[in-house]
Amino acid sequence: MEIQSVHLPDQPDLAARVRDLASEAARVDGIYPFSEQFLLGLVDARVAHRHLILTDGDQLRGVAACDDSSCELVVAPDARRQGVGRALLEAVGDADVWAHGDLPAARALAEASGRRPTRRLLVMSVADQALTEAAVFEPRPGFEALSLRESAARWGRDTVEQAWLDANNEAFSWHPEQGGWDLDRLRRAQEAAWFDEDDVLFHWDTSTDGKPALAGFHWTKWHTEDTPAFGEVYVVGLATAYRGQGLGDPLLRLGLEHLAGKGARRVILYVEADNGPAVRVYEDLGFVVDEEHVVYSQP
């Protein structure tokens, strides 16, 4: 077996083989080994991911993908229990490693390398009658809900994107993936094949003098990779000046109503497990935990 460092965006055929390997693992495990951003990093050099591939002859047996803070790994289903995962973990050194789904085999491998769980990300969902009950948006006086498309038509794309960016960075100043964005990063996110301007919803404060202020946004995502299609609460954020005013609930319901109106019978979201207040809000709306993703770190 041999481990090589490669730049996958420069090798589209190899990147396609890696994606196929990840899809094969997902069929076996019931969960995808790479997150959305790490899948993007296979083909987009701007993401600046590093990749290690483990081969046996001409057979691709495993892959590690890393950004500046963590790594994600996949091992070919027919190459498991042969030291592939252990070799990749050794190759990434002390980097944090994600275990999507926190499957028993991945958990055992991480713990055998001395790593311990340091971050837990929950996938929660609401469906059917509970979704119908939660998807009721009641606008507040002095506020107006508009999509990205509608907002840009009224105030201009540049103005709206800057307001969106500011609210995002205020809401997620603490977050390792969602915080600290610039306009280039925001616009790259809009290049995703699934992106739709009508699925980004803004809550504007129209009581201010002159140009309305952005109180918050609810970026939803429509998943068509499964049948039936389903929705996702992709990102919800409140600007600093509008926190503590009870606007989080209507902002969340705004997106749920939008997704239900598109025909969703199920909606998912991701939330940090240690964000107790947010988890309780989602539970009160009928969300339940479906999956858990765990970061394993060296002491």
| pLDDT tens readout for residues 85-118 | 999 999 999 999 999 999 999 999 999 999 999 9
- Chain mean pLDDT for the chain: 95
Alpha carbon separation from 148 to 67, 214, 230, 252 (Å, rounded): 30, 12, 21, 16
Q: How confident is the model at residue 178 (pLDDT cuts 50, 70, 90)?
A: confident
Q: Token pair of 82, please?
A: 């042969």
Torsion over CA: 198, 202, 203, 208 (sign): negative
As beta bridge partners, residue 232 has 221, 268
pLDDT at 208 over 90: no
Average pLDDT over residues 245-253: 94
Alpha carbon separation from 292 to 100, 198, 295 (Å, rounded): 7, 30, 10
Q: How confident is the model at residue 54 (pLDDT cuts 50, 70, 90)?
A: very high
Q: How confident is the model at residue 175 (pLDDT cuts 50, 70, 90)?
A: confident
Torsion over CA: 240, 270, 218, 276 (sign): negative
| pLDDT tens readout for residues 144-171 | 999 999 999 999 999 999 999 999 999 9
- CA-based diameter of the chain, in Å? 68
Three-state SS for 167? helix
User: What was the pLDDT predicted at 179?
Assistant: 73
Q: How confident is the model at residue 1 (pLDDT cuts 50, 70, 90)?
A: confident
In this structure, which topology does domain 2-114 adopt according to CATH? Answer: Aminopeptidase (3.40.630)
The answer to whether domain 2-114 and domain 124-292 are alike in fold is yes
**CATH of the domain spanning 124-292:** 3.40.630.30
Torsion over CA: 169, 175, 177, 180 (sign): positive
Residue-range domain boundaries for the chain: 2-114, 124-292
pLDDT at 177 over 90: no
Summarize the annotated binding site as residue ranges: 36, 73-75, 177, 221, 232, 236-238, 243-249, 270, 275-280
User: What was the pLDDT predicted at 120?
Assistant: 97
Q: Where are the beta strands (DSSP E) in 57-210?
A: 59-66, 70-75, 96-99, 116-127, 143-147, 200-205
Summarize the annotated binding site for acetyl-CoA as residue ranges: 73-75, 236-238, 243-249, 275-280
Token match 């319901």: residue?
A: 253
User: What was the pLDDT predicted at 227?
Assistant: 86
